[in-house]
Amino acid sequence: MNASAYCSTANWPGVTLKAASSRLEDLDRRSGRALDERLIATLASGDWIRQQHNLLLTGPTGAGKTWLACALGNQACRQGYSTLYLRTPRLLEQLRIAHGDGSFGRTLQQLAKVDVLVLDDWALAPLEEGARHDLLEVIDDRAGSRSTILTSQLPIEHWHGWINDPTLADAILDRLVHNAYRLTMKGESLRRKKAEEQAAS
């Protein structure tokens, strides 16, 4: 799903707010996906948001990470929480621009107020030095007060190496990982499976 942002009360410049179409009721529960139904039920209840916990969704491309992240964002909206979806590379680009036009502090304040921040495509591309510091600012502002969902193809144990700065990596991951639920998704690409089903029909 190529969502931009949805059901959000956050004033994020240049982003169209819209209702997400992904709903937990439509979750594909076919065998082979290794979904933890108990965890899904816990997340659906919204308790993790009330407790300011994070959610880390990992798995191969096409496994449904973005879909599930958006469905949980939609669920959060239905429970009255402000929610914002951003691809991590786009967030970092917007923060880079904010440094230049003097809006960086205001942008951080906006992000810090969002109840559920969905960062898709985490660890997709190498980080520049400035981006590492910017990520720490975003995560630090939210630690212990708001919830963040990350989706990534890269396993969590490799995130430290991706950040590529031991001190900053320790700081970022300490704030993200230790109070987070983790869900590793498995199975064949749902996009490819859907295309095959459409071709066969």
Cβ contacts of 87 within 8 Å, gap of 6 or more: 119, 120, 121
- Joined tokens for residue 73: 């964002």
Beta bridge partners of 180: 54
- Joined tokens for residue 140: 């630090």
Per-residue pLDDT, 144? 95
Per-residue pLDDT, 126? 95
Evaluate whether residue 69 is within a structural domain: yes
Q: What is the CATH number of the domain that holds 157?
A: 3.40.50.300
Count of domains observed in the chain: 1
Per-residue pLDDT, 105? 97
Could you list the mean pLDDT of each consecutive 10-residue stretch along the chain, which spans 201 residues? 45 43 76 78 95 97 91 91 93 97 96 94 96 98 97 98 98 97 82 54 61
Evaluate whether residue 111 is within a structural domain: yes
58: helix, strand or coil: strand
Per-residue pLDDT, 13? 45
Per-residue pLDDT, 30? 67
Evaluate whether residue 84 is within a structural domain: yes
Per-residue pLDDT, 194? 57
Range of the domain at 58: 5-11+31-200
